[in-house]
Amino acid sequence: MTRRGSEYTATVLSRTLIDPQLARLELGGEGLAEFASTNIPDEWVGLVVPGQFQSRYYTVRSWDGVRLVLDVVLHASGLVTQWAAGDCVGDKVTLQQPQGSFSAPADAAWVWLVGDLTALPAMARIAATLDPQIDLRVWAEAPAPIPGYFPDALTDTGRLTWLASEPGGSRLASVVDAFDWPPGAGHFWMAGESAQMRAIRRHLMRDLADASFTHDVMGYWRDAARAPRRAADPGPIYRAGKAAGKSDAEIWADYDAQRS
């Protein structure tokens, strides 16, 4: 039996470097036979790699019912980075129960997505699954554009903007501060470095509290060198928040509070 509770054993079938800082891992094996996707486009799974006991959360780039793909950002350091940077093909890993949060209103006329390298998998999957009638715009921060990562329709219509990341850190908060928001019902989704996300949540709550659009802003990782914070596992916080009937914004506020 390769499944225990909400855990699944998988084998790394291939590893492809699609960018100097982004490794694509294709997982498969009998342990995924009972894996059930949430079908929420920004869904994530906990990943436990060999030699480690802690899980780290990664967006499911794709799942075809047999093989699951994760795009892993190779940070300067980290539990998974060291493992994924090497020859990990053939290794056994553990995946934990998938969860997701993306939920645009049924009447949304537009959806704007903003994120850094860690958010690319979620943004690409959201872009591929949205109704083509929705006005979709994407701002992707990365060291350099990654050709073919997003649907061609986004590039061909000029609705994809690549933002060059800088050695000093992300500048997504300043980019969003300067947005001229569209009118009408819509949804704003953003993910990336935690300090940047906190700044944007404050901006949305302070300056755009009466806006007609909904939003979901999530901290995917933290720059420990710039703002050291104690560890906080988002999984239990998310589940406890949902059980208490909290909104995603309230849950991520709880998450930020436990990291401070």
The CATH architecture one would assign to domain 110-224 is: 3-Layer(aba) Sandwich (3.40)
Predicted pLDDT at 207: 67
For 151-176, write each residue's pLDDT tens digit: 998 988 989 999 998 766 788 888 98
6 versus 135: the higher-pLDDT residue is 135
Region of poorest pLDDT, from 103-112, 187-196, 217-226, 244-253: 217-226
Residue type, 50: P
Q: What is the mean pLDDT of residues 116-140?
A: 95
Predicted pLDDT at 221: 80
Task: Quote the tokens at residue 132.
Answer: 């083509």
188, 112 Cβ separation under 8 angstroms: yes
For 26-39, write each residue's pLDDT tens digit: 999 999 999 999 99
Bridge partners (DSSP) listed for residue 188: 112, 215
For 184-208, write each residue's pLDDT tens digit: 899 999 998 888 888 888 877 776 6
Question: What is the CATH T-level fold of the domain 7-99, as seen in this structure?
Answer: Elongation Factor Tu (Ef-tu); domain 3 (2.40.30)
- Residue among 172, 176, 179, 60 nearest 124 (CA): 60
Predicted pLDDT at 4: 44
Predicted pLDDT at 142: 94
248 versus 79: the higher-pLDDT residue is 79
For 48-90, write each residue's pLDDT tens digit: 999 888 899 999 999 999 999 999 999 877 889 989 999 999 9
- Whole-number Å distance between alpha carbons of 167 and 134: 34
Predicted pLDDT at 86: 93
130 pLDDT exceeds 90?
yes
23, 75 Cβ separation under 8 angstroms: no
Neighbouring CB atoms inside 10 A of 134's CB total 13
The pTM score is 0.82
Domain locations along the chain: 7-99, 110-224
89, 15 Cβ separation under 8 angstroms: yes
150 pLDDT exceeds 70?
yes
Region of poorest pLDDT, from 87-96, 97-106, 239-248: 239-248
Q: For the chain, give the mean pLDDT.
A: 87
Predicted pLDDT at 170: 83
Q: According to the 3-state scheme, what is the secondary structure of the chain?
A: CCEECCEEEEEEEEEEEEECCEEEEEEECHHHCCCCCCCCCCCEEEEECCCCCCCEEEEEEEECCCCEEEEEECCCCCHHHHHHCCCCCCCEEEEECCECCCCCCCCCCEEEEEECHHHHHHHHHHHHHCCCCCEEEEEEEECCCCCCCCCHHHHHCCCEEEEECECCECCHHHHHHCCCCCCCCEEEEEEEEHHHHHHHHHHHHHHCCCCCCEEEEEEEECCCCCCCCCCCCHHHHHHHHHHCCCCHHHHHHHHHHHHC
32, 10 Cβ separation under 8 angstroms: yes
